[in-house]
Structures are given as structure tokens and as C-alpha cells.
Structure 1
Amino acid sequence: MIALQIIARLLDYPDEALWAHRDDLLSALADSQALDEENAAKLSAFIKPFCAAELLDRQAEYCSLFDRGRATSLLLFEHVHGESRDRGQAMVDLLDQYRAAGLVLDSKELPDYLPLYLEYLASLPLEEARSGLVDIAPILALLAARIAQRDSHYAVLFELLLAISGVALNSADVAEKLQQESRDDTPQALDAVWEEEQIKFLSEQGCASAEETAHSQRFAGAVAPQYINLDAHFESGTAGESRP
């Protein structure tokens, strides 16, 4: 599915190769059949100004949006398993899916990296690709809402993925759930996490004092949980779609 390949490339880190072939994105979009006229126009409207900017500016924008904090991480299992042990098994299972499809990863990215997952779906028949998007629809809606809160044009790419999936779910459906959520990309939130990790490391080395323990506890609630359970909304909004 060409549309998924285009969106996957746009969600990957902007590099020289993309800028050298940016005109090809619009040419490929013209051959896409997965998007209706309105959504194809939205994707085109994203591509043109996106590729007209300086590459360094787009790289800085990308890092600021996707690499600061966990709330907008493009690692899918970050929003499902966090740091639990279940994440490792989920990675193994996803790798098995890739291998079953005849794909061998030569990328440095983890298997649950969204652009990589989209590349995998793009290699499948249309209905199977849509089913794969349905599986991650709650995550896509959550990311769309969080990114929209940051006033980033990237939000449209996640809305387009939801449109391709066919699920009755979008960023507006989950925006209200985010009103009480603390952003984890502010300097204060990032400092709090760094402080907590430092104390945790020292504690594991057997060097933590009572004062350090109290310091760790003080920062423990500095960043609100970034994982919102959307299952109830998803089940009521998609009329019969199933989750893994």
C-alpha cells in the first residue's frame, strides 16, 4: 500500500535521502488508492510545506516532538507495556510476524518502531494491512491527540492512518482524557525523570542514603502516567472490531 509507505517515510527521521527524493513523494501519492480525494489532499498539503523547509529545521522539530519524553514515542509498545517484561515477549512475537511475511530486518530500530511497522503493513494485502492498523488504532488516536496538543502538523499523519484503518476513532475522541495528563517533555519533567533515574542507579549500587530515598520519592509523582486505557472507548466505537 503506497500510502502507508509514504506516511512511514514521513514519520521516520528526516534525512538527506528523503530531501533528495522529496518530489517522488507527491508522484507516489498520485498512484495511491487507499486514500479518498479529501484525505489525499490532506497528505499532499502536509508534504509540500514539510519538504519546502530546511532539512536541519525539520530534524530539530522531529527530535523535539518524538525524542523528548515517552508520551509521543514512536515505539508502539511503549504505550502498551511501558518497561514491563511483557514488552520483550511482544517484540519477539512481532519479529516472528515480520519473518513469517518474509521480511528480514537490517534496521537499527526496534521492531515496534511505528515507521518500520507501517513498512511491514505496506507489504501485506489491503485488508490485512487495514487489520494491522486496527490493532494499533487506540495508540494512533492517543498519539494524534497528544501531538495535536503540541500544535504540530504531524498530527494529520496519525489521523490519516486512522482513516485508512476504517475505525470510528480519532484524536477528538480521546482529547478529553488528556486534559488531566501532565506533559512529559517540559524541562521540569525531563529533569525530574533524570533525577529519579540517577537516584535509582545509586540505590542499586548500594549507595542510597535515607535522604536520597526521600529525594527519589519526591520526584516519583512529578510526571503523570503516560498510558491511558482506551479499550472501553475503542470497543464501543468500532462496532465489532477485535483487539489482540
Structure 2
Amino acid sequence: MINEPIYEPHCATARVLAALLSYPDASLRMALPELAIALLRDTMLSAEHRDAVFALTADLQQGDPLDAEARYVDTFDRGRRTSLHLFEHVHGDSRDRGPAMIDLRQTYAQEGLLLAPGELPDYLPVVLEFASTQPYEVAREFLAEMAHLLQSIHAALARQQSLYAAVVAAALDLAGEPVQLPETVPEAPAEAPLDEYWAEPVVFDGCSAAGQNAAPRVQPIQFVRRDAASPCRSKEAIV
């Protein structure tokens, strides 16, 4: 007799949060009604956090798609304070980031999960996807280890009055960590002015040295299992 994997409520919650922190392309917008239904059924988040995340899904559904995409890029791709790559907040571009990435990738591999080529293990949607594959206690402990980074990102988003702050706050709730008020979280050092970083090269006019005219770095989340078993296999696909 083969034991069926146990489905736990946090699995769907973590997948919804991972999806909402991903680039809001056409595929995500098509999935928004299903994500909203999953939120309505959610039993893991507090009502306050669930309603705040639901407000983001409604905004993405009702707003202009191009505005949503531009807002995402402005929010997450143009400043380290709100970067969704967690190790940027502690290691920046230093050599220490490489070993940390390797350690995290090995953590995934030990559970039989392999990242698709080009995906970085410290990308928050990937972190949440991994948590969705683990039993609840393991997932909560895993996310709690990164709570100080999530607090920093949430505070930066809250200072910008971004609806995306609700998703990071929900991730903290999932980790069993109280969300700190933005004014109690130390602000990261000032970064170089964005206008200077994103300035157009004079000689090449429309060509971009910093990549500002290129398509945003969309990172589809795809774990490849070595085996079919999963303690958190969902009864239905979330996205």
C-alpha cells in the first residue's frame, strides 16, 4: 500500500505568494482569478494579511497591464532595498554571495528539487516555492531563518506605500514572525541616484549599457523533482 502525500494548507498559500511576487505578465494575469479563489479559501494567514494580499490581486486584475509591469520593474529591479534576491541584502556583489547561493541550492537538492537553468536560489518566489514543498514545521523554520531579510524588504516596500508589501508581510506571517513597523527597521544606506544609474549612454543614444531598455529579467519558477513523491503535492495546480 502506497501512502499518499499529505496536503497541508500552507502549500497553496506559499505558492500564491510566490506567484504574486513574480513578474505580472499575461500568464500571471490569467491566473489571478484562481489565485484570488485560493486566497478566499486560505486558512493559514490572518484575516488582515489575507485581505491585504487580496487587494493586490484585485489591483492587478483591474489595472492597466502595462502600468502593472512598469510598476513591478520600478519596484523590484531598480534598487537593492527592495530586491527580491535575498542575498543582495547581506552580501551585495561580494564574493560571499557565491558560497551562500551554493549552500541554498544544495538545500534544495537534498530534498530532490533542482532549479531550472538560469534561476537563482535566493529569489524570493523560488524560496517560497521551496517552502511549499515542505511539511509545515520545516517550511516555517526555513522561512523564519530569512525573517530579518523579509523584514527589511517589507519595510522598504511599506515606505513606498507599495501594495507588494502585503505579500512580504504574509510571508512573515507564514513564518510565524510578527511584522515590524517600518519605522523600527533600520533603513539600508542610500544608493546611487536611479537617474544616474539608468542614464542613456550618449554615444549610442537608445542603446543601454545598464540594461534599462532590455526586457525585465523574468525568472520563471521551476523546480524539477528527482522523484515523484512530495509531502506537499497539491490536489490542484495553483498556477
Moved over 6 A (4+): none
1:29 aligns with 2:39: yes
1:18 aligns with 2:25: no
2:93 pairs, out of 83, 86, 103, with 83
Q: Which residue of 1 aligns with 2:67?
A: 57
User: Which amino acid in 1 is paired with 2:194?
Assistant: T
Question: Which of 1 and 2 has higher RCO (CA within 8 Å, sep 6+)?
Answer: 2
1:108 aligns with 2:118: yes
> TM-score, normalized by length of structure 1?
0.71
Q: For 2:73 and 2:42, locate their aligned partners in 1 and report how far apart those are by CA, in whole Å.
A: 29
Question: Higher mean Cα deviation, 3-12 or 148-157?
Answer: 148-157
Task: Quickly say closer, same or farther: Cα 1:5–1:184, change in 2 above 3 A.
Answer: farther
1:7 aligns with 2:10: no
2:150 pairs, out of 140, 154, 171, with 140
Q: State the superposition RMSD in angstroms.
A: 2.1
Q: For 1:173 and 1:158, locate their aligned partners in 2 and report how far apart those are by CA, in whole Å.
A: 16
1:186 aligns with 2:194: yes
Deviations 1:189-229 (A, max 9, x none): x269x9xxxxxxxxxxxxxxxxxxxxxxxxxxxxxxxxxxx
Q: For 1:32 and 1:186, locate their aligned partners in 2 and report how far apart those are by CA, in whole Å.
A: 38
Task: Quickly say closer, same or farther: Cα 1:108–1:151, change in 2 above 3 A.
Answer: same
Task: Quickly say closer, same or farther: Cα 1:69–1:137, change in 2 above 3 A.
Answer: same
1:163 aligns with 2:179: no
Q: For 2:192 and 2:38, locate their aligned partners in 1 and report how far apart those are by CA, in whole Å.
A: 36
Q: For 1:124 and 1:173, locate their aligned partners in 2 and report how far apart those are by CA, in whole Å.
A: 33
Structure 1 residue runs without a partner (length 5+): 195-244
User: Which amino acid in 1 is paired with 2:24?
Assistant: P
Kept in 2: contact 1:144–1:171 (CA 8 A): no
Kept in 2: contact 1:159–1:170 (CA 8 A): no
Question: Higher mean Cα deviation, 158-167 or 1-10?
Answer: 158-167
Of all paired residues, the percent bearing the same amino acid is 36
Q: For 1:191 and 1:31, locate their aligned partners in 2 and report how far apart those are by CA, in whole Å.
A: 42
Q: For 2:118 and 2:71, locate their aligned partners in 1 and report how far apart those are by CA, in whole Å.
A: 21
Q: For 1:112 and 1:7, locate their aligned partners in 2 and report how far apart those are by CA, in whole Å.
A: 15
Structure 2 residue runs without a partner (length 5+): 1-10, 202-239
Q: For 1:139 and 1:106, locate their aligned partners in 2 and report how far apart those are by CA, in whole Å.
A: 24
Give the structure with higher Rg (CA). 1
Q: For 2:36 and 2:83, locate their aligned partners in 1 and report how far apart those are by CA, in whole Å.
A: 27
Q: What SS does the corresponding residue of 1:157 show, helix, strand or coil? A: helix
Q: What SS does the corresponding residue of 1:104 show, helix, strand or coil? A: strand
